[in-house]
Amino acid sequence: MIRYILCLFYIFPLKASDQNRPNVIIIYTDDIGYGDLSCYGATNLQTKNIDKLAAEGLRFTQAHCPAATCTPSRYALLTGEYSWRKPGTGVARGDAPMIITPERYTLADMFKTDGYTTAVTGKWHLGLGAKDQQDWNGLMTPGQRDIGFDYSYIMAATGDRVPCVFMENDRISNLVPSDPIEVSYTTPFEGLPTGKNNPELLKVHPSHGHDQAIINGISRIGYMRGGNKALWVDENIADSITVKAVKFIEKNHTKPFFLLFATNDIHVPRAPHPRFVGTTDMGPRGDAIVQMDWCVGQILTTLDKLHLRDNTIIIFTSDNGPVVDDGYKDDAVEKLGGHTPSGGLRGGKYSKFEAGTKVPFIIRYPGKIKKGVSHALVSQIDMISSLASLLKISLPERSAPDSFDEWKSWSGKNTKGRKYVIEATNSASLSVRTAQWKYIEPGSNAYKYDKYTNIELGNDTIDQLYDLKSDPGETKNLSIERPDILKEMTTLLKTIKESEATRFKEK
């Protein structure tokens, strides 16, 4: 397999330039919308630490994640492959097997084979273990170590799904052997309360779904029992993953490191630590944004303390667009006020419209990249190739099949960016966007509006074509008026879908 072949060819002596090679930290937030941060125009709250990043780095206005939901975006970020090419990369169940298989070359592999120490802390949601062979009470394999991470401290799935435990280096953290855990996504455990049957036990109530196992007074998706000392406390999640990230930086500060710091905020259930409760007038969602900003501040403070600021690249972004009510009654809708999470864009998380994938994107690399604002069209799919280019790393043949070298755009030297970005909600219907035009292909699903999340999904049985320069809100479908552009965009998308790997095809 590729991983083991690589081990035969890469040797890791300390390079003379090690002390000058930059550390790399990707801060990957959850459900943060284009308009959720004060540096992107929010006025109902202040994100001072992220604003500091933006002031000291390059802030992008036309950046996209690969998909409008979590799991597929994370898959694409780490592999450089569009998730819609790989079956089984939809939103993962909490007991899903590992979606990124060991033979798949990853972003972590790239750093590791170049002598970096690698880590991931926080939200994972890419599955664990092998299908039908998961050992929740032992060593989970395959795990993060099998795809390039030297250290991992992750949430087993995501906050609203069981099991509600942290995994450290592929084992449940703080698990007592005499109290093993059991997980089921089909059958409740007899005698245990659920959100549906025992709402009196809840401190946060579901608005739709999320009414099964009760952990820490919050009902989830799925059922579990056991592992009582290993269960997380939602109010402490941000502190827990941030402490682990800071300790990793401190332990490895004398050598090059790569850290994927994936926050749980602001995904549901939103239960910020008491010290953040009431810091905004927007309820738990607003307070969770401030808490997330605090996490960013802890990373920045640690880099300053260790004199790593100038030699560390920080990339801040989000896995998909915003959602206000995503399954819990937490006053997010009632207390939104004048705040616009989408920044005035149409849609949101789950949507084919722009708010589904247009996200904040900030890069800071002091003295090496231009400060300011870039309107270049960029995509997270290019993470592997762009960083490989910067670090002069040769990628293995056929790896990162859809990832292009866009470092010139990411560093501010190129103001145009990509020719196109792909926006996905699922493999059945895709969108393609250029600097000016957006095309959404038709599908069989005409379900246009999700009444639960209050989001326009962008589904339709007809072609949709929008001129984003004159109509950024995607209000006027020009597919009939501009048949020339429609043909151009449909041909482009067809070519991309039929190719096995865009990076190789376009070389």
Q: What is the number of other CB atoms lying within 10 angstroms of the CB of residue 193? A: 15
Please give the Cα distance from 409 to 413 (Å, whole number): 6
Q: Residue 15's pLDDT is what?
A: 46
pLDDT in tens, 106-155: 999 999 999 999 999 999 999 999 988 899 999 999 999 999 999 999 99
Residue type, 496: I
Give the β-pairing of 449-450 and 455-456: antiparallel
Backbone angles phi, psi at 36, to 5 degrees: -85, -10
DSSP, residue by residue, 395-462: PPTT-STT----HHHHTTS-SSB-S-EEEEEETTEEEEE-SSEEEE---S----EETTTTEE----SS
Is 18 domain-assigned?
no
319 with 437, same domain: the answer is no
263 with 200, same domain: the answer is no
Is 416 domain-assigned?
no
Please give the Cα distance from 352 to 321 (Å, whole number): 11
Backbone angles phi, psi at 505, to 5 degrees: -65, -35
Is 212 domain-assigned?
yes
pLDDT in tens, 351-375: 999 999 999 999 999 999 989 999 9
400 with 429, same domain: the answer is no
Q: Which residues of 416-429 are buried (b: 16+ CB within 10 A; e: fewer)?
A: ebbebbbbbbbbeb
Q: Is 391 left (phi over 0), alpha (psi -120 to 50) or beta?
A: alpha
Q: Using 50 as the pLDDT threshold, list the residues of the chain that sit under it.
A: 1-2, 4-16, 506-507
Is 130 domain-assigned?
yes
CATH assignment at residue 346: 3.40.720.10
Q: Whole domain around residue 202: which residue ranges?
A: 182-225
**For the chain, how many structural domains are there in total?**
3
Smallest CA-to-CA distance from 218 within 268, 166, 263, 153 is with: 268
The pTM of the full predicted model, rounded to 2 decimals, is 0.95
Is 16 domain-assigned?
no
